[in-house]
Amino acid sequence: IGVVAYQWQWQFVYAPEGVRWEDCGAPENKGACVTVIGVPPPGGDRTDWQPPQMHVPVDETVELQMHATDVIHSFYVPAFLYQRDITPRKDQVIQFLADREGTFRGQCTQFCGLLHQAMEFEVVVESRDAFNAWLAEELTPPPTPSPAPSTSAEPGASQAPGETVTIKISAQGIAFDTD
């Protein structure tokens, strides 16, 4: 899993076998990778905010390839008793094994700027089946959108290609500035 730390969030990149996480943006890998991108809480309000989640299978060794794009960050999951600094231009590779299922809070512990407090994430440790189901769901493209509604002015009328449609709009009780 590629872990990218940047001011002021996290990104988790899941690449398929044989593809480097750094190459997930290449056109030939479109649709093959899953990328979870964290977004800081708007205005710092965490009321309805969800930190980004990194999903991992339980009882399996997971390798994290960690990269910082701007300043020093620190990957820390208190429940795992593990912390690692991530320095720009000096990537870190770590491995860990989570031995119980659950959702565990993580955070950056290196002051990295004004929104440092927003650098939270969660590690979701789940069964291999649940992990595979999550990955498959994330890789499933969204459904094709429905066709655009008719733009004809009259209900039930059809419009020929290239035909101009005129829509009459009126408003009552509206005062307009005439200066």
Q: Using the predicted structure, report yes or no on whether residue 111 has a pLDDT greater than 60.
A: yes
- Model confidence pLDDT, tens digit, residues 117-136: 889 999 999 999 999 999 99
- Model confidence pLDDT, tens digit, residues 137-179: 998 877 777 676 655 545 555 556 667 767 676 666 666 555 5
Q: Looking at residue 67, what DSSP letter applies?
A: E
- Model confidence pLDDT, tens digit, residues 37-94: 998 888 778 788 899 999 999 999 999 999 999 999 999 999 998 899 999 999 999 9
What pLDDT does 178 receive? 59
Nearest to 52 by CA among 128, 109, 107: 107
DSSP 109-150: -S--STTGGG-EEEEEEE-HHHHHHHHHHHHSPPPPPPPPPP
What pLDDT does 144 receive? 73
Which residues are 54's β-sheet partners?
A: 123
- Structure token pair of residue 82: 């593990």
Nearest to 60 by CA among 85, 96, 87: 96
